[in-house]
Amino acid sequence: MEILIAILAGVLMTTGVYNLLQKQILRIVIGTVLLSHGAHLFILTMGKLKRGQPPILMDGIENYADPLPQALILTSIVISFGITSLLLVLAYRTARENNTDNMEKLRGTENE
Partner 1 sequence: MIFAVLIPLIFAIFVPMLSKIKHKIHTGIFVFFIPFSIFLYFIRFVGNDFSPVRHEYSWIPSLGINFDFYLDGLSLLFVLLISGIGSLVVLYSVYYLHVSERLGSFYVYLLMFMTAMLGVVLSDNLFVLYTFWELTSISSFLLIGYWHWRERSRYGAQKSMLITVFGGLSMLGGFVLLTVVTGTTSIQAIISQIDVILESNYLPLIMGLILLGAFTKSAQFPFHIWLPDAMEAPTPVSAYLHSATMVKAGIYLVARFSPVFATYEWFFIVVSIVGIVTLCWASYMAVRQTDLKGILAFSTISQLGMIMAMLGFGTKVAVFAAMFHILNHATFKGSLFMVAGIIDHETGTRDIRRLGGLLTIMPITATLALFGTFSMAGIPLPFLNGFYSKELFFDSTLHLNEVINPVANVLIPIIPYLAVFGSIFTFVYSMYFFFGVFTGPKQFDKLKIKPHEAPIGMLISPIILVLGVILIGLFPNMVNGTFLIHAAEAVNSAVEYKKVYFWHGFVPELYMSLAVVGIGTVLYITRKKWSNVYHVLPGKMSFNKLYDALVKNVDIVSAKITNTYMTGSLKLYMTIILAAIVVVTFIVMFVTNGFQMEYSNLAEVTFIEVAVVAIIIIAALATIFTTSKLGAILITGVVGYGVATLFVIYRAPDLALTQLVIETVSVALFLLCFYHLPKLQKRKESTRSKVQNGIISIGFGALMTMIAISAHSTDWFDPISDYFLETAYKLGGGHNVVNVILVDMRGLDTLFEIAVLGIAALAIFSLIKLRNNKEAE
How many Å apart are CA 18 and CA 20, to the nearest integer? 5
Give the bridge partners for 88, in sequence order.
Answer: none
Q: Specify the residue, 60 or 108, whose C-beta has the smaller distance to partner 1.
A: 108
Min separation Cβ 62 and partner 1, Å: 10
Closest CA to 72 of 61, 64, 63, 80: 80
Min separation Cβ 102 and partner 1, Å: 8
Torsion of CA 7, 11, 12, 15, to 10 degrees: 170
Q: Specify the residue, 4 or 60, whose C-beta has the smaller distance to partner 1.
A: 4
Q: Specify the residue, 60 or 107, whose C-beta has the smaller distance to partner 1.
A: 107
Min separation Cβ 94 and partner 1, Å: 10
How many Å apart are CA 8 and CA 13, to the nearest integer? 9
